[in-house]
Chains A and B, each alone.
Chain A
């Protein structure tokens, strides 16, 4: 509400209700209220006059995002991460695989600001090079899970019926598979050492979570009168889904999706620790974190740097998700 008490409704108790059963006695507010309602409420920020460009949810959201410092900061962090994932050599000139056992677990020194790991490899270089695998796993697994889960769950919620029943049972089956056991079974038969089998496995096991959330919020949105109103106007299913249901059902998916991104990067570490995830010589934060966790008391720097990078990445995506969610809610503007 732009202004707590709305000044627009002329409330005149003497005029409002004629006694003796309601609206019988000479009530003609039509002329009067048409005049009164012309007044503009004191919002001030509403600039769009009849001559201005028509605005929509998405253009308003984008305008809002560009002014949101949280969005700018998180977007810059993510752009930076993407940059070093593609061209790690530009800020780390050493070889992430070059080991010098004499320096095993040694602390920082000039040229090696983050110190050395168990095998005497430079931690800074490994953090930079690890971004590629970790960000790829996190972003691709999240994107896959969100797309697959929200499409399947959203359609199940929208159409209901047997499609919903079948899909819900299938997602129950996938919920029943323990992640670690499933990972050992699925990934131990894969010989490919790229990130893609890991991403595929995460999407396979992760989609039911998003599907359930998407289904629930689509069912909530579908029951609103504005969806009925659109149907009454003759809108097709696609228009109702795209214009009315999706924008009103997307918020919980964004929140869960951005939080899940961090868990996927951590899950990659778990799987790598068990020997079924990424395999050396691939460099990833997950592998380094699981290596370092054995010697956390002797050499905490080995854990802190890759874990810090992971936290920063997760934080950036959560902030981005938050900013996008807020921008899509006109009530918060």
Chain B
């Protein structure tokens, strides 16, 4: 595996290491005297590494904890337990000046460009605000020029500084949000569904812009989305989340072509095929196994409540492979034993007791 091939093993040392990150939101009763009656286990033990210059995609359905992970990494929420190491330093317990210093290096692009820009600030003030907060980054006289450079970098006219956000379209607003994220020259940008609020044509522009900026500034991205095709387009590695846990993580080719976790397989089988003929072939292939396991998997039931998740494997209530072991024993995120040392693309971390590639399952 070489670095030149996209989707190969990531280059560079880990810049961000997440270890057993947990966030439980307490459920309370009472107004003055609050009593905890339970907890929503939004994120329940997540670990992954982010390497310098790579893009890690995180996919999963609504409510699986993707956005909470983003907020935890940004320290917008305090983790219940677990650690996030940025260059070897645990940032989840930082506060005050030390936290502010870390924030220079980890920035965020928000999902909804219509609420992430203050409607009562000019674009110049929005993009210039990082310099007000971190005055050491740009000397005072220099800021206006820097703001205009940033506008230029994200493909907007530098003369727009005196305009207000409502004078822009969704795609342009997201560019403004990206410019604000870039202002402090961060090393990591966490993108929480940065394109899901945009038109499809505009999504492509914004994603391409982000790739261009990554090459230009050597950024590392954590790209959270529920659109599988966009994640595949931009990511070097992909993690699949289900109900607060990571189900499977690997390079994009490993995840998209050789998924071993049943949830990933079901998720990928739901990607719509825009070609009616191919769709029919795919439906037929589900029986013959000819289309390498592309048949649609229909999951029964709903996602369980994160306030009361199932024991053992989180996915077992909807999994067609579930057995007693799945209820008793929580599967760990590790390379499954059957694939260990096999050298095949199926050799990547998957949290399933019965991990296997679907094509072989159907052939068997």
Contact = CB atoms under 8 A, between A and B. Distances in A.
Interface string B28-56: 00011000000000000000000000000
B60 to A, nearest CB: 17
Contact of B129 (A11, A43, A48, A235): A235
A46 B201 contact: no
B114 to A, nearest CB: 9
A90 interface: no
B201 to A, nearest CB: 4
Interface stretch (B14-22, B81-89, B204-212, B295-303): B204-212
A169 interface: yes
B305 interface: no
Given A225-B115, A248-B120, A331 B164 contact: yes
Interface residues of B, number: 72
A330 B115 contact: no
Interface of B: 31-32, 71, 74, 76, 99-100, 103-104, 107-108, 110-112, 115-122, 124-125, 129-130, 132-134, 144, 148, 155-159, 161-164, 166-167, 169, 171-172, 175, 177, 180, 184, 199-202, 204-205, 207-209, 211-212, 227-230, 232-234, 271, 273-275, 278
A52 B119 CA distance: 21
Given A23-B204, A23-B233, A328-B120, A232 B157 contact: no
A164 to B, nearest CB: 10
Given A8-B172, A23-B229, A1 B158 contact: no
A329 B74 CA distance: 30
Contacts, number: 183
A11 B172 contact: no
B119 A232 contact: no
> What DSSP secondary structure best describes chain A's contact surface?
loop
A87 B264 CA distance: 81
A50 B161 contact: yes
A55 B162 contact: yes
Given A10-B201, A22-B227, A60-B122, 5 more contacts: A16-B204, A19-B274, A24-B229, A226-B116, A226-B118
B118 A244 contact: yes
Interface stretch (A33-41, A197-205, A287-295): A33-41
Contacts of B148: 50
A235 B40 CA distance: 28
A228 B166 CA distance: 19
Given A17-B200, A33-B155, A330-B119, A46 B162 contact: yes
Contacts of A10: 201
Give the size category of A's interface with B: 35 or more
Interface of A: 1-2, 6, 8-13, 15-17, 19-24, 27-30, 33-34, 37-41, 43, 46, 48-50, 52, 54-57, 60, 162, 165-166, 169, 224-226, 228-235, 239, 243-244, 247-248, 328-331, 333
Contacts of A226: 115-118
B232 A22 contact: yes
B119 A248 contact: yes
A183 B226 CA distance: 60
B172 to A, nearest CB: 6
A244 B133 CA distance: 14
Contacts of B125: 56-57
A91 B209 CA distance: 69
Contacts of B278: 20
Nearest to B180: A229
Nearest to B102: A234
Contact of B204 (A17, A39, A244): A17
A50 B120 CA distance: 20
Contact of B162 (A2, A52, A165, A235): A52
